[in-house]
Structure 1
Amino acid sequence: MKLVYFFCGGMKLGAEREDTERILNLCLKYGIIYKDLKLGPGSITLECSMYTAELLRLACAERGISLWVVEKYGLPVILRRYKRRVGVLVGLILAAVLVFLSERFVWDIRITGCENIEENDVILQLGEQNFRIGSYIPTLDVDVIENRFLINSEDIAWISINLRGSVAYVEIREKTKKPEPKNHVPANLIAARDGQIEAIEATSGKPVVKVGDHVRQGDLLVSGVYDSSVWGYRYTRAEGAVYARTSREIHVEIPLEYEVKRYSGEEHTETALIFFSKEIKLYRNTGFLSGTYDTICSVEDICLFDGTRLPLSLARTVYRWYTKETATRSAGQAAELAYAELDRQIAELTLGGAQLLRKSISWLLTENSYRLDCNLTLIENIALTSEFEVVE
């Protein structure tokens, strides 16, 4: 949320879609700045400050254009809503003063250099060293924080923290992970499923099957035991791949009746102002909410015009009530869903390295569902590592 919309207040306006061009022409004519123009099936919405919204409403009224208020938000709305709650008003005024005058606290932390690590994980690790949004800058010893961070981090090899005003720019370099040590526990390769051997690519161990052999699940494919009349038994870890022609069955069933949510249109919104890490509730406790509803949570940062994030944000929780109803899909819709699910399962197999040779599909429509039965012929790696213990 732009700072001007918060402190001056903003309006979300709605209008008929057919009036879109006339409204935009009025905005251009009178220099009205708007944002978040959204086109709906029969209407549009846009947002602007309260002052420019009133100008636009007046201009539309003079020309017979229907324009209505969808939502009002911002500090003026909050002040009117809580004008009798002096403590809240004083707190908001003090927060506004701190936002404009304070340059001695960390307002924002920006992370660069993350490749395999989430930025939030880095921020959490910085927090463990007492470096977070809201930290008092004069008490921060950046060198000590960097050293302690590296001592306690297993994933980061280098870190640099640069404070520019109230924004902390953190640059990191991740550690190059060492390859895991090779496992030397003796093992065989056994068949994960039934099939006919097509190719053997054993990098270690002694193959005990040959191309063309039929094997069953659990049969030995590559042995980790070498038997020598001179040296006796020698044990190794059999490794490699054994490709076989296999058969698989996939069954997909889509019910014709299913449950859907029907929203009643009833909504309840709870808003809170987050200043640094402190939450100020801007709503009255409603107690236990009855019925079935979805909960939608969002946090909207408040930024300066140059995009710098302030230590202020608005947290909204929206409750939307609904009822569950039974709906019926047509046979064609069920078939479309069934084939999509079948394609997804086949794609999982092929992406895993299996080669599809042939497939046959049959379908069955009953009173309650649409069913697909698919038989696949594949070439896939059926080698499964099975470790064993050597008893001397």
Structure 2
Amino acid sequence: MSGKGADWLKGMVTVHIRGGEPEELVNKALAGGLQLSSIRWTSSGLLEFELSVSDFFGLRAYLKETGCRAHVIERKGLPFLLVRAERRKLFAGGIVLFFALIFMLSSLVWSIEVQGNTKLSEDQILLAAREEGLYPMQWAFRLTDTDVLSKQLVRKLPGSTWVGVEKKGTKIIIQVVESTIPEQASLQTPRHLVASSDAVVTEIIAEAGRPVVKKNTRVKKNQILISGTIGGEEFSRTVVARGNVRGLVWYEFEVYSPLVQHVKVYTGEQKTKWFAVIGSRALQVSGFGKSSYTASETIRHEEKVSWRSWSLPIGRMKESVMETRLEDRTLTEEEARSIGILQAKADVLSKAGSDAVIRDEIVLHEKADNGKVYMKVLFEVEQSIVKEMPLVQMQGE
């Protein structure tokens, strides 16, 4: 053990020497075997040094010989800490209880997270884990070894090839790898690909079947684009037509946009509430009483106690209740027009498909009346224009 550590265990005191012959006191004490350290003169002319508690009692004889008096100004070390703890039994007991509670809480399994499952449900996996003794609020030292637990879960979960169990602080992570079964291709009947709407073809790619239209051709709804019949009249056969055909489609929208909008704003007034969090429960500790706000929005922020990779299920939560109000915002006709067109574009793309692209927009008519801007807008959209039509249906016709 280092010298400082040994001194802390024995207990050290710092003293000031008054009266008598201080230099003679130091010389005799050192000659008598006492260990004095940090010997110095203070700004007020007093001699100061440090010594252990046992040496302090041995210093009395030399104080009498030299006519000096010793005044203790500082005490440090384990003996004095124990004395203070004896005087504050309730406080010391609280500290012991606190650390005991932290140890108990960190020895529990508070949450189980399942990862990697697609076909197996989370409830199915958690039920199998519970049958093996793994569930929330279980003592960690009562759990089976993770390697053994992994093998047992694989046997209980049909369709899994590997199950990993990892403990991170108070959380258990179950990683599942499921067996992959190749999907069987569904049987498809021969078909044509036809136009889903009137359009002008911009691109046609036939993967299977016979293309019957070309780029820049105007087509009608239900017109065949890629035929499922290939070959000559004598040697023709039917196939499942596949491919991609894109074209320009036109959408006409009637749009109206108000010149006055109701907007939610924050007033800057807020009320803060603090909660002590243990597991999934929260106990309010400050900010009691209802807020007087007519309208408000609540934002929660939670902090958990953590140390390195350990995360304990205790912490605190801050709840901020912020006052809001509705304000009227007056728009210019140009701003209302832009907002209306943006809304119409969103409607067009939701109708035309995720791969659609708006190529052009034309405002056919526009007027402002009764606090609103009315418009008739024509959108030119490039999108997929194919839909399937079974050959059986065509033969029936």
Q: If the TM-score is normalised by the length of the shorter chain, which range does it land in? A: 0.5 to 0.7
- Alpha-carbon contact 1:268-1:320 (below 8 Å) kept: yes
- Whether 1:328 aligns to 2:330 is yes
Q: Distance in 2 between matches of 1:274 and 1:213?
A: 68
Gaps of 5+ in 1: 1-90
Q: Distance in 1 between matches of 2:96 and 2:265?
A: 42
Cα offsets for 1:6-60 (capped at 9, x unmatched): xxxxxxxxxxxxxxxxxxxxxxxxxxxxxxxxxxxxxxxxxxxxxxxxxxxxxxx
Question: Which residue in the other structure is 2:194 paired with?
Answer: 190
Question: Which residue in the other structure is 2:206 paired with?
Answer: 202
Shift of 1:190: 2.1
- Whether 1:293 aligns to 2:282 is no
Q: Distance in 2 between matches of 1:262 and 1:179?
A: 54
Q: Distance in 2 between matches of 1:268 and 1:154?
A: 52
Question: Which residue in the other structure is 1:135 paired with?
Answer: 138
- Whether 1:105 aligns to 2:117 is no
Shift of 1:369: 3.3
The 3-state SS of whatever aligns with 1:183 is coil
Shift of 1:345: 7.2
- Whether 1:241 aligns to 2:244 is yes
Query: Could you tell me which amino acid in structure 2 is paired with residue 185 of structure 1?
Result: Q
Question: Which residue in the other structure is 1:65 paired with?
Answer: none
Question: Which residue in the other structure is 1:313 paired with?
Answer: 315
Query: Could you tell me which amino acid in structure 1 is paired with residue 331 of structure 2?
Result: R
Question: Which residue in the other structure is 1:257 paired with?
Answer: 260
Query: Could you tell me which amino acid in structure 1 is paired with residue 244 of structure 2?
Result: A
Cα offsets for 1:150-177 (capped at 9, x unmatched): 567799753432446x455747475586
Q: Distance in 1 between matches of 2:135 and 2:318?
A: 23
Give the aligned length: 295
The structure, 1 or 2, with the larger RCO (C-alpha pairs under 8 Å, 6+ apart) is: 1
Question: Which residue in the other structure is 1:366 paired with?
Answer: 368
Structure 2 length normalisation: TM-score? 0.54
Assess, with a 3 A threshold, how the Cα gap between structure 1 residues 268 and 140 changes in structure 2: closer, same or farther.
Answer: same
- Alpha-carbon contact 2:194-2:222 (below 8 Å) kept: yes
Assess, with a 3 A threshold, how the Cα gap between structure 1 residues 211 and 324 changes in structure 2: closer, same or farther.
Answer: closer
Task: Please identify the structure whose Cα radius of gyration is greater.
Answer: 2
- Alpha-carbon contact 2:196-2:387 (below 8 Å) kept: yes
Q: Distance in 1 between matches of 2:242 and 2:95?
A: 67
- Alpha-carbon contact 1:203-1:238 (below 8 Å) kept: yes
Shift of 1:382: 0.9
Q: Distance in 2 between matches of 1:386 and 1:144?
A: 56
Shift of 1:235: 5.0
The 3-state SS of whatever aligns with 1:218 is coil
Shift of 1:309: 1.7
Structure 1 length normalisation: TM-score? 0.54
Shift of 1:256: 1.4
Shift of 1:252: 5.2
Assess, with a 3 A threshold, how the Cα gap between structure 1 residues 128 and 277 changes in structure 2: closer, same or farther.
Answer: farther
CA RMSD of aligned residues (A): 5.1
- Whether 1:216 aligns to 2:229 is no
Q: Distance in 1 between matches of 2:247 and 2:266?
A: 52
